[in-house]
Structure 1
Amino acid sequence: MKNNAPRDSDLYKLGEMIDDIEVAMMTTHATDGSLVSRPLQTLKIDANGEIIFFTAAKSHKVEELTDDSEINLAYAHPGDQRYVSVRGRARMDRDEDTINELWSPAQKIFFPDGKDDPNLMVLRVRVRDANYWEAAGNFIARAFDFARGMLDEQPSDLGKQGHLKG
């Protein structure tokens, strides 16, 4: 994933936290008001505070996002005990410069006609804010802290939680 956010910003930290998590679960509101989640490959976080994906114009999410553009992105790296929840607003376009920049041969699986596939759209999520949770130390240290917390009166340091602004 490309991280073009300004280095001294919360958005850059967000980009670092999700950099090695290839897939986000995007949650939207279905037409009946219920919640629907689906996986999307994160391609870039840009200097404007948008996380960028490719999507199919013929997918249900396009209709859902037309009705209500508020979304949630969930990222998880269980091996590192790192979790991120992003709130934002989605929009779609067919910006050729973005498509050319982020296109890879693997995208042909989803868009057989390549960059010119009429079904290919750029999905941009403007980050409103994000919450994250990170565990402290490695697995053994976390297990020790957890066990100590069960025996002690004092809570254990199992990691940190934070809030990032878009």
Structure 2
Amino acid sequence: MSKLHTNAATSDPKAIETVRDLIQDIETAMLTTVSDTGLVSRPMKTQHIEFDGDLWFLTKKDTSKYDEILKDPRVNLAYAGKSYVSISGTAEFVEDDARKKVLWNKMYEKILGTPYDDPNLVLIRVTTDTAEYWESGSAVKMITHLLKKAVGKGSEPKSEPGLNETVDLESAPKTPTD
């Protein structure tokens, strides 16, 4: 499987805003963690708060993802919708009852089978490092680009502007959250 051409990383605020816009309407991300046997992915509901380089999720402590993140906090988040976004970063657990209450809704009570004040419930904060995205505004443009790459027509195909970008989120200024 070939990978799209990756442009040089940038910390341009407009690019960060683009990533925010691309993921804001995607309800579920696939969170990938490192287990003892390899990579493991599972769906997680993104908490829609202002994206400043950190992403938030809720989980229980008695899960394999909790143990996996304790052993190796490197994670990847994949979003798929009208566009595709892959975000790498570092996960940490945050005990913040006030934030849990703000982020909580009745759907979580059904999904997680517990109330927001359960001591087994914990927040996951992913401090993002980089995001790579593929805008799929033009399916024809995307398919043409992938076909050129797959058949190796000529030299490395030039990346279409706006089609694929890599964003350095680590050096972007962050808004204080605490």
In the TM superposition, what are the counterparts of 1:35-114 in structure 2 within 5 Å? 35-46=39-50, 48-77=52-81, 80=82, 82-114=83-115
Per the alignment, residue 5 of structure 1 pairs with none
Change (3 A) 1:45 1:51: farther
Superposition deviation, residue 13 in structure 1: 2.5
The superposition leaves residues 47-82 of structure 1 with CA deviations (integer Å, 9 ceiling, x where unpaired) of 6521001111111011111111001111111xx2x1
Give the TM-score of the pair, scaled to structure 1. 0.76
**1:66-116 deviation per Cα after TM superposition (whole angstroms, max 9, x unaligned):** 111001111111xx2x11000000001221121111111111113434111
Does structure 2 conserve the Cα–Cα contact (< 8 Å) formed by 1:31 and 1:67? Answer: no
Q: Which amino acid aligns with 1:75?
A: Y
Counterpart in 1 of 2:30? 25
Q: 1:11 Cα shift?
A: 3.6
Cα shift at 1:118:
2.2
**1:9/1:52 CA distance change after superposition, 3 Å:** farther
| The structure with more strand, counted as a fraction of residues | 1
Local SS of the residue matching 1:128:
strand
2-structure distance, mates of 1:163, 1:112: 38
Q: Percentage identity across aligned positions?
A: 32
Q: Which residue of 2 aligns with 1:165?
A: 168
* Aligned mates of 1:93, 1:66 — CA distance in 2: 12
1:133 aligns with 2:138: no
Aligned residue number for residue 174 of structure 2: none
Secondary structure of residue in 2 paired with 1:114: coil
CA contact (8 A) 2:90 2:128 kept: yes
Question: 2:26 aligns to what SS in structure 1?
Answer: coil
TM-score normalised by length of structure 2:
0.72
Report the CA distance shift for 1:104/1:132 in structure 2 as closer, same or farther (over 3 A): same
Aligned counterparts of 1:136 and 1:104: Cα–Cα separation in 2: 32
Q: Tell me if structure 1 keeps the 8 A contact 2:31–2:42.
A: yes
